Amino acid sequence: MSPFIWKAELAVDSRCELGEGPQWHAAQNRLYWCDILGKRLHWLDPATARHESVTLDQMVSCAAPVSDGRLLLVGERSLALFDTERQTHTHLCAFEADNPVTRSNDARVDRHGGLWLSTMGKNAEPKAGSLYRLYRGELVILRTGLTIPNSICFSADDHAYFTDTPTGQVMRWALDENGWPVGEPECFADFSTHAGSPDGAVMDSEGCLWLSLWGAGEVVRLDEKGQIIGRVALPVDQPSCPVFAGDDLKTLYITTAREGLSSEKLAETPTAGALYRVETGVAGLAEPPLQLA
């Protein structure tokens, strides 16, 4: 059977240099996403289509909803709490602040209210990146020697997924009752010979994983065996990360990027870096807010 195909439509023509880290804040009914290289935080109210943004003082890759209503900004030098109403920052902890080579990259809240987050070299230096977990206020390193850690997401049956993008392999890692990884991860899906490279990912309520393929202009839906059963086609080449949002979690939003595109390519795809959306008819798996204590 051929994979089902959806076509994404323009949601916000934000034209981020590197759009990333989309997060649905259910308590606020807002979608947040970051322009890492542009140092901006964006948000959208889907009900009113109102879009706003604010400039940040460092590169930030994710703004994760916290149980108290604030956001945790995952930055290149620190983790900070952001009050969305007052637009004030509160420093939480340093984050590879002594390493000028790296910045934050992917992040997502797990099923236990912890946050998995990653770093990479600012120029994708080989093996400069790491994978961390912030759990109950403590930041713990899980893995080092990664180049571009991505695809962080979590299934309802307590498995974590991630990739080191240059390998082309999406890994699956069993978790214990508190959400800590057990043993070694195993390959879930191999895209090393596929067009595009695995980037951001999110889970749906049916146990399927939606994976952005950077360079291929599509997001693929993978079943529990890692097989492609659906595709979202985009009119731009560099989708970076999907997220389910809205009251019923049936709208898939996708961040994209303009980074590295030639002037000729930008002329062909002027909305590169915009936020896209598609009505999937499939509900996402609701993600809990981050618990800091």
| Active site residues per annotation | 199
Type of residue numbered 3: P
Of the candidates 65, 42, 44, which has an alpha carbon nearest to the alpha carbon of residue 55?
A: 42
CA angle 285, 54, 69 (to 5 degrees): 45
- Distance separating alpha carbons of residues 250 and 70, to the nearest angstrom: 24
The residues near 186 (Cβ < 8 Å, ≥ 6 apart) are: 171, 172, 173
Q: What are 154-157's contacts with CB under 8 Å, separation 24+?
A: 154/108, 154/110, 154/111, 154/116, 154/203, 154/287, 155/203, 155/207, 155/209, 155/285, 156/111, 156/203, 156/205, 156/207, 156/285, 157/207
In terms of phi and psi (left: phi > 0; alpha: psi -120 to 50; beta: otherwise), the region of 69 is left
Question: Of 113, 72, 116, 65, which is closest to residue 92 (Cα–Cα)?
Answer: 72
Q: Within 10 Å of residue 287's Cβ, how many Cβ atoms?
A: 23
Could you tell me if 82 and 75 are in contact, meaning their C-beta atoms sit under 8 angstroms apart?
Answer: no
Cα end-to-end distance, the chain, whole Å: 47
d(CA 272, CA 23): 20
Displacement of CA 35 from its chain's centroid (Å): 12
